[in-house]
Amino acid sequence: MAKPIQIIKKVELTEEQKKTQSLESLLSEVAENKDSLLDTLELLQELHNSGILEALNSLVKAKEEVAKIAVGQMTREPVTNLINNAMAAGGALTTLDPEMTSKLMGSLAKGFEKAEEGLRSNSKVGILDLLKVLNDPDINRAIGFGLNLLKGVGEGLKE
């Protein structure tokens, strides 16, 4: 005769048993992950010594508030301007031809070299010297480049 039963008697672990169980499972995890745990401990010690851990702790505890402040700051117009500027500048850079940029940088380096040589010779430049050097193909090329650059900037400003 098996009367229906609705009561389940749970195995009630004593506090002591629960503790032992937790410790046992923890120990087996520790044994399995010895190397990574040791590394982690070392890292934690470093972070603690440098005070970073303490700062992080507070930051995480106050994460909601901090996030609100951060987002609040970021939505201020100067900051959104900054972000927009950075993004625009970034965008402009992406349109440049990298080959041209590297050529230009190379030429500038060479230019500095020559200029330094000139400085060292300490010679005076007269009007006639200026007209004369216009015929120098290297200088002519550089002036042409400069004039066209100015024209492009002017066009860009018009838009």
Partner 1 sequence: MPEKVKLFINGTVHEVYKGTRILDYLLSQDIQHPHVCYSEILGPVQSCDTCMCEVNGEIMRACSTVVEEGMNILTSSELAKKSQEEAMDRILENHLLYCTVCDNNNGNCRVHNTAELMGIEHQTRPYRSKGYEVDMSHPFYRYDPEQCILCGRCVETCQDLQVNESLTIDWESQQPRVLWDGGKSINESSCVSCGQCVSVCPCNALMEKSMLGNAGIMTGIEDDLLTPMIDLVKAVEPDYQTIFAVSEVEAAMRETQIKKTKTVCTFCGVGCSFEVWTKDHEILKIEPSENAPVNSVSTCVKGKFGWDFVNSQERITTPLIRKGDVFEEATWDEALDLVAEKLGGIRDQYGSDALGFIASSKITNEENYLIQKLSRQVFGTNNVDNCSRYCQSPASWGLQQTGGIGGDSGTIKDIAGAGLVMLVGCAPGEGHPVLASRIKRAHKLHGQKLITVDVRKHEMAERADIFVRPKQGTDYVWLSAVTKYIIDQGWHDEEFIQKHVNQYDEFLKKLAPYSLEEAEKVTGITKETLIQMAKMIHEADGTAICWGMGVTQNIAGSHTSAAIANLLLTTGNMMRKNAGAFPLRGHNNVQGASDMGTMPNIFPGYQSVADDEIRAKFEKSYGVTLPAKPGLDNIQMLESIDNDELKGMYIVGEDMAWVDADSNHTQAMLEKLDFLVVQEIFLTTTAQFADVILPGVPSLEKAGTFTNTERRVQRLYQALEPTGNSKPDWWILQQVAGRMGYNWNFEDPSEIFAEMAGLTPFFTHCNYGVLEGWNSFNWGSPDGTDTPVLYLNGFNFPDKKARFGLFDYVPPFEFPNEFDLSLDNGRLLEHFHEGNLTHKSEGLQYKFPKVFVEVSPELAKERSVKDGTLVRLVSPYGAVRLPVLVTDRMEGKSVYVPMHSASHESAVNLLTGGAFDVVTNTPAYKQTKVRMEVLEKEGENPLPKFNPRHAKRTPQMGLEIYRKWERGDYAPISSVNEHVQPGLYDRRNA
Residue with tokens 């590297």: 102
Among 9, 34, 120, 124, binds partner 1 (CB under 8 A): 9
Q: Which DSSP string corresponds to 30-75?
A: HHHTHHHHHHHHHHHHHHHHTTHHHHHHHHHHTHHHHHHHHHHHHT
Q: Is 1 a binder of partner 1 (CB under 8 A)?
A: yes
Cα–Cα distance, 41 to 46 (Å, whole number): 9
Asked whether position 157 contacts partner 1 by CB under 8 A, the answer is no
Instruction: Report the alpha-carbon distance of residue 159 to residue 152 in Å, rounded.
Output: 11
Would you say 133 and 139 are in contact if contact means Cβ atoms under 8 Å apart?
yes
- CB nearer to partner 1: give 93 or 153: 93
User: Binding to partner 1 (CB under 8 A): which residues in 87-126?
Assistant: 87
Stretches 68-76, 107-115, 127-135, 150-158: which one binds partner 1 (CB under 8 A)? 68-76
Q: Identify which of residues 76 and 110 has a Cβ nearer to partner 1 in the complex.
A: 76
User: Which CB atom, from 70 or from 153, has the smaller least distance to partner 1?
Assistant: 70
- Residue 92 beta carbon to partner 1: minimum distance, rounded to whole angstroms: 14
Any alpha helices (H) in 75-136, and if so which ranges? 77-95, 98-121, 127-134
Return residues touching partner 1 (CB under 8 A). 1-11, 64, 67-68, 71-72, 74-75, 80, 83-84, 87
